[in-house]
Chain A
Amino acid sequence: MASEATKKHPWHMVEPSPWPAVGSAGAFIMAVGGIWYMHEGPIYGFLAGLAVVLYCMYGWWRDVVREAESGADHTAPVQHGLRMGMVLFIASEVMFFVAFFWAYFNSSVPFLSFVAHETWPPEGIVPLDTWGLPFLNTLILLTSGATVTWAHHAVKANDRGKFILGLGLTVALGFIFIGLQAYEYAHAAFGIKDGIYPSTFYLATGFHGFHVFVGACFLTVCFFRAKAGHFKPEQHIGFEAAAWYWHFVDVVWLFLFCWIYWWGSFGYAG
């Protein structure tokens, strides 16, 4: 900033930016397009809005990365604020999943509601085999949690090779998880319209899968940034945020695995 020399506070005074307006316009188009699609219209409107939103994300975060790498904007207090913002965002995400677990327990735990099923899964539902693909996916996500922590130690130790390797492994495991989830969906014995069990199952695991996708993309960006020489041992907020997000996604999965896949199949007589 021109006032950099004279600036008497540590805060980042962000220049005017087109991205918020672009992103809001994109979200609006996506909403209208999505409604059009849901009422027998084509999907182009939704996709157009999505494209605008993605363009906004690209431009906005490109600017953030440049600001981070400029060295001047992200002072220590600003970094503290960025971390705080990420933690709060994750807290709000946790509450989003609370809604879906609430729906799940509302129909599966008898004393919680009048409609809760005596047997869970409800009659006629053949649940997935807990110790098959779901357990493999658990191992994959837990391993990816370890590799991302390994990458974190590497960047702190300024070991770029291991940092990039750790990131690459994490991203690969993340996408393998998504692939296996897609395979599982394709081979499940119940469709989304088959009542409350599939409703809670597909929305809870589906939103989790989407979050894995987002986290994997976030880490992919970090991977390429790492290759481009970004991140320093003492300043790597972008990566830290991605790693926190990844751990959050990991923990949500453990809840899904324990309650929906495992506990949720206890009542299945076979």
Chain B
Amino acid sequence: MANGASDAAHHAHDHKPTGLGRWLYSTNHKDIGTMYIVLSIIAAVVGGAMSGMIRLELAEPGIQYIEDFQFYNVLVTAHGFIMVFFVVMPGLIGGFGNWIVPLMIGAPDMAFPRMNNISFWLLAAALVLMVMAGLTGSGPGTGWTVYPPLSNADFHSDAAVDFGILSLHLAGASSVLGAINFITTILNMRATGMTLHRMPLFVWSILVTAFLLLLAIPVLAGALTMLLTDRNFGTAFFSPEGGGDPILWQHLFWFFGHPEVYIMVLPAFGVISQIVSTFSRKPVFGYLGMAYAMIAIGFIGFIVWAHHMNAVGLDVNTRAYFVAATMVIAVPTGVKIFSWIATMWGGSLRFDTPMLWALGFIFLFVVGGVTGVVLANAGADMAFHDTYYVVAHFHYVLSIAAVFAMFAGFYYWIGKMSGRQYPEGLGKLHFWITFIGVNVMFFPQHFLGMAGMPRRIPDYPDAYAGWNMVSSIGAAITMVGTLLFFIVLFRTLGAGRKVEANPWGEGATTLEWAVPSPAPFHTHEDTPNVEAQPAE
């Protein structure tokens, strides 16, 4: 099998493997990418249901449904973990990265196809562990940041937090192996003539993301290990009575956690760059600037972590540095936003569904970006810290902007992946309902936060009732949009129009549009030559 010892196995290579083994034993980047996308959708339903429960509880003042406040904390925690580690990351990186990066660079597969598969199956195991965490004892009510002392054995004595820790260990191993795979694939396996400076921006985005994963995740692994030994083996890393320091956890966590937010949003930048260029029928404006802006964002992302800790009592010089460094990120981010706009400027614009989602992304990311600049001020953050303003901010940039990029990518590439095109009208309806829903849901949360409503609390004073009801109505609208997505998905796969190799016309210049739709099991068996092609 593995070394091709038998002739039978040789033939298996030429044909698609069948049955369960095709998926369980897969060494094919497209199949593994598909599994990631399916996992991402399943996890999104679970994590989305949790947010639905949160919004139901918060719709009115007083306690509606959730009498057990620890359970509310568990909902908040699990919602965060699932959305970050099991929806956005597998969707954008594992799913689209796997499917599209080898196609775009002209490689027949990933560099380490077996390792690619263990990346996926470790993540599946991690998801099961995370669900077990929620079902064990009183569940992990720590928030996704797992701060001690709340997360230590005194306050979470059952095994729930341990399940969470081990889940993140497996998810982290999955990510590090995936990162090694992407970097090696991208640096080593590009088509003839595709220099780094001619790589599509989506590939650039995955490359930068992979470096962030490679360097940030192991620090989280170290911190989680310390928490595990603090909880179970009597070490004192985070307990002051043993000379340890709870703030150490926050440093280690956010040294991972801040790059993590770019890990989620950089691939989204990549997707959006491809789509904006395609539907403007123009190359991306300032291609090199766009690539290096992502590198700059990735690099600065590593040196701003303590802006998450403005309220814990760091000294004023430390905070001054982190404020300044954080604001610097607005520069490369501005390069991206303005370059997308300049790409559209003077282009022959087409507003197909993927382009609508991409424009939605740009709008949402700008809103979340400017509130980010507000929060970057350590002084202002003393007031905003732990309020719904922060919730609104990071849901704009991550949850909804990143999810919009996932939907944009879905509509952009579903024809390539399935061979069938989505229904255009339903796709646009899905966009508009979701766009209205998420804004109705999250925009009022800015007002709630500015009025001082704290996050992660299931009840609130009557003064906050109005906007909370509006927000919950927005959640209901979004849920309708999500149902529509499943209708689109089934209509596409079941009755979608058969689609040609390149349904988008002259604007779509990257290599994935040069192979048939659906992309055959093996592609680029003859290394393409892009010598003659202009840089993007």
Distance in Å: Cβ of A127 to nearest Cβ of chain B? 15
Size bracket of the B interface: 35 or more
Question: Please, what's the 1-or-0 string for A218-239, where 1 marks a CB less than 8 Å from any CB in chain B?
Answer: 0000000000000000000000
* Chain B residues closer than 8 Å to A39, beta-carbon distance: 158-159, 162
For B243, give its contact among A21, A24, A196 (CB under 8 Å).
A196
Judge whether A193 is part of the interface by a CB distance below 8 angstroms.
Answer: yes
Contact present for A193 and B235 (CB under 8 Å): yes
Given A9-B525, A88-B183: A196 and B236 interface contact (C-beta under 8 Å):
yes
A93 interface residue, CB < 8 Å from B? yes
**Most chain B beta-carbon contacts within 10 A, residue among A19, A93, A197, A199:** A199
Given A15-B27, A19-B114, does the pair A98, B125 have CB atoms closer than 8 Å?
no
Task: For B175, give the chain A residue with the smallest CB separation.
Answer: A92
Complex Cα–Cα for A32 and B126 (A): 11
CA–CA, A202 and B214, complex, Å: 25
Q: Closest residue of chain A to B173, judged by CB?
A: A27
Is A21 within 8 A of B240, CB to CB? no
Q: Identify which of A79-87, A152-160, A171-179 touches chain B.
A: A79-87
Q: How far is the CA of A98 from the CA of B252 in the complex (A)?
A: 10
Contact, CB under 8 Å: A66 / B2: yes
Main secondary structure of the interface of B (DSSP, over half): helix
Residue B115 CB within 8 A of the other chain: yes
| Interface: B534 (CB within 8 A) | no
Q: Which residues of A contact B22 (CB under 8 A)?
A: 16
B129 touches A17 (CB 8 A): no
Of the residues A9, A92, A102, contact of B217 by C-beta under 8 Å? A92
Within the complex, the shortest CB–CB distance from A38 to chain B, in Å, comes to 4
Contact A77 B188 (CB under 8 A): yes
B5 touching A99, Cβ below 8 Å? no
- Evaluate contact between B117 and A195: CB separation under 8 angstroms: no
Mark contacts of A1-35 with chain B using CB atoms, 8 A cut-off: 1 yes-contact digit, 0 otherwise.
11100011101011111111101110110011011
Given contacts A11-B189, A14-B114, A73-B4, 12 further A-B contacts (CB under 8 A): A8-B527, A11-B109, A14-B113, A16-B12, A18-B24, A19-B118, A70-B3, A81-B188, A91-B215, A96-B221, A107-B245, A122-B243
19 A-B pairs within 8 Å (CB atoms) are namely A2-B13, A11-B109, A14-B2, A15-B1, A15-B13, A17-B114, A24-B125, A24-B170, A31-B167, A32-B129, A35-B162, A66-B3, A84-B187, A95-B219, A98-B218, A98-B219, A99-B218, A99-B252, A196-B243
Instruction: Give the B-binding residues of A (Cβ under 8 A).
Output: 1-3, 7-9, 11, 13-21, 23-25, 27-28, 31-32, 34-35, 38-39, 60, 63-64, 66-67, 70, 72-73, 77, 80-81, 84-85, 88-89, 91-100, 102-103, 106-107, 113-115, 117, 122, 192-193, 195-200, 202-203
In the A-B complex, list the 10 residue pairs whose CB atoms are closest, starting with the nearest: A99-B222, A63-B2, A20-B118, A24-B121, A66-B3, A193-B234, A196-B243, A199-B235, A2-B10, A95-B218
